[in-house]
Chain A
Amino acid sequence: MKLIKFFLIGILFGIILTKSEVVSWFRIQEMFRFQAFHMYGVIGTAVALGIVIVAVMKRTKFKTIYGNEVVFNPKNMSIYRYLFGGIIFGLGWALTGACPGPIFILIGNGYLAFIVVAISAVLGTLAYGAVRSKLPH
Chain B
Amino acid sequence: MLELLSQPWPWYIAGAGIALVMFLLLWFGGEFGVSGALGTMCSMCGAGKKVPFFNVNWHNQLWNVVFVFGGLVGGFIAGHWLNSGANIQISQATVQDLQALGITNFSGLAPAEIFGTDQILTLRGFIFLVIGGFLVGFGTRYAGGCTSGHAISGLSNLQLPSLIAVIGFFIGGLLMTHLLLPFLIGL
A residues neighboring B (CB under 8 Å): 2-3, 5-33, 35-39, 41-51, 53-54, 57, 62, 64-66, 68, 70, 72, 74-79, 81-101, 103-114, 116-130, 132, 135
Contacts and interface: CB of A to CB of B under 8 A. Distances in A.
B109 A111 contact: yes
A129 B53 contact: yes
Contact of A88 (B14, B138, B148): B138
23 contacts: A7-B69, A10-B69, A12-B74, A18-B79, A19-B8, A23-B75, A29-B97, A32-B176, A35-B90, A42-B15, A53-B23, A81-B143, A83-B165, A85-B142, A86-B168, A87-B168, A95-B184, A96-B129, A99-B35, A99-B146, A100-B146, A125-B141, A129-B141
B54 to A, nearest CB: 5
B172 A20 contact: no
A127 B130 CA distance: 14
* Chain B contact residues: helix, strand, loop or mixed: helix
Shortest Cβ-Cβ A-B pairs, 7 listed = A10-B70, A86-B168, A14-B74, A90-B172, A45-B15, A124-B137, A108-B75
Interface in B39-96: 39, 41-42, 45, 47, 50-51, 53-54, 62-64, 66-79, 82, 88, 90-91, 93-94
B146 to A, nearest CB: 5
Interface string B166-187: 1111111111111011001000
Given A20-B8, A89-B146, A3 B137 contact: no
Given A82-B165, A85-B139, A16 B128 contact: no
Given A64-B27, A96-B128, A116-B129, 20 more contacts: A5-B24, A12-B17, A20-B9, A28-B173, A46-B14, A46-B156, A53-B22, A62-B27, A82-B150, A82-B164, A88-B172, A90-B176, A91-B139, A95-B128, A100-B146, A101-B148, A109-B79, A125-B140, A129-B42, A130-B50
A48 B12 CA distance: 11
B168 A83 contact: yes
Assign chain B's interface to a size class. 35 or more
Interface string B140-166: 111110111011111111111110111
Contacts of B161: 75-78, 82
B78 A24 contact: no
